Structure 1
Amino acid sequence: MAISTYAVAVGGNRRGRHGTPRAEVRAALALLGGTPSPIIDTPPLGPSIRRFANAVTVIASAEPPAALLARLKTVERAAGRRAGRRWGARVLDLDIVLWSGGRLATRPLTLPHPAFRTRAFVLRPLLAVAPGWRDPVTGLRVRHLHARLTRARPINRPRGTW
């Protein structure tokens, strides 16, 4: 059985049975194993008003992507995740971001995660544990994706307004 490597994003912004969102993320990282990033605090996207605790872990597994996704959803439900509003508050959110097998496009799962390149709350922790991992779509390494996303952009001012 072939072993694959996965980068799994871990986040949450509601208290759960382990306590604070940071404690929930810490518990999920311990359960998943692998090489965890530091946990960072980030502002929410969408309608939620609560800050998120976010991290990434790099794990090795013999599970194919669909089986790992099913296991992650089971972990979310066990932590108290309930179906609800997209981008709303949640105890735990687990997403497969990258897979050593490259690309995958099925109905329940697209790899790499379609939005990971635009999310600093994923790229910053991923940078800590897998800076050299190449995005199979762009060919860029995680460190380059992070630099592109976070670099300062010049202010476009009309000529003669200095």
Structure 2
Amino acid sequence: MTTSTYAIAIGSNRRGRHGGPAAAIRAAIAALQGVSAVAPVIGSAPLGPSLRRYANTAVLIDSDLSPPALLIRLKAIEQAFGRRRGRRWGSRVLDLDIVLWSGGCWSGPGLTVPHISFRERDFVLGPLVRIAGDWRDPVSGRTVRHLHHLVDRARPRD
């Protein structure tokens, strides 16, 4: 079986059994297998209806799992942390998303890799650039560093 590298975005904005959002992220990283790089945790404004700020990071993991099998494992970790199905973009104890895969692109029921929205999300690209700045998006051909620069440049300034 071939080992692949995955970039996983991690977010939390609600207390859970492990404590506040930053503690939930640290515990989630410990629950993942094959972690090879961890970005610093950052704070970010919520998307959608949630009013709580998020703690976010990104990790690289090495795994023999296919993208759908890894998604199943990530969803099991989210559930173990108390994630409940519900409103899109609502508050959550833990959110684990496959952002990139060393195998390129994947599309199937419930999963698209690269993550459909990662190119516009500073809370994903900011941490990811710290651990995988040279990783190329297989769709646009741009590096994570370049994508982050584009998002950063588009951000409104005071």
Deviations 1:74-116 (A, max 9, x none): 0000000001100000000000000001011111110100000
**Is 1:93 aligned to 2:95, yes or no?**
yes
Q: How does 1:12-161 map to 2 (within 5 A)?
A: 12-32=12-32, 33-151=35-153
Q: Point out the structure with max Rg over C-alpha.
A: 1
C-alpha distance in 1 between matches for 2:117 and 2:152: 15
Matched residues in 2 for 1:152 and 1:9: separation? Answer: 21
Q: 1:152 to 1:90 in 2, by over 3 A?
A: closer
The whole-number CA distance in structure 1 between the counterparts of 2:95 and 2:128 is: 16
Question: Structure 1 pair 153/17, CA: closer, same or farther in 2 (3 Å)?
Answer: closer
Aligned-residue identity in percent: 59
Cα distance in 2 between the residues matched to 1:128 and 1:138: 20
State the distance in 2 between where 1:13 and 1:142 align.
24
TM-score, normalization: structure 2? 0.95
Query: CA 1:154/1:86 → structure 2, altered by over 3 Å: closer, same or farther?
Result: closer
Moved over 3 A (4+): 152-155
Letter in 2 for 1:11: G
Query: How many residues were matched structurally?
Result: 155
RMSD of the alignment, in Å? 1.4
Q: Structure 2 regions of 5+ residues with no counterpart? A: none
Q: Deviations over 1:3-46 (max 9, x none)?
A: 00000000010001110001001111122233110000101000
Taking the aligned partners of 1:42 and 1:139, their CA distance within structure 2 comes to 27
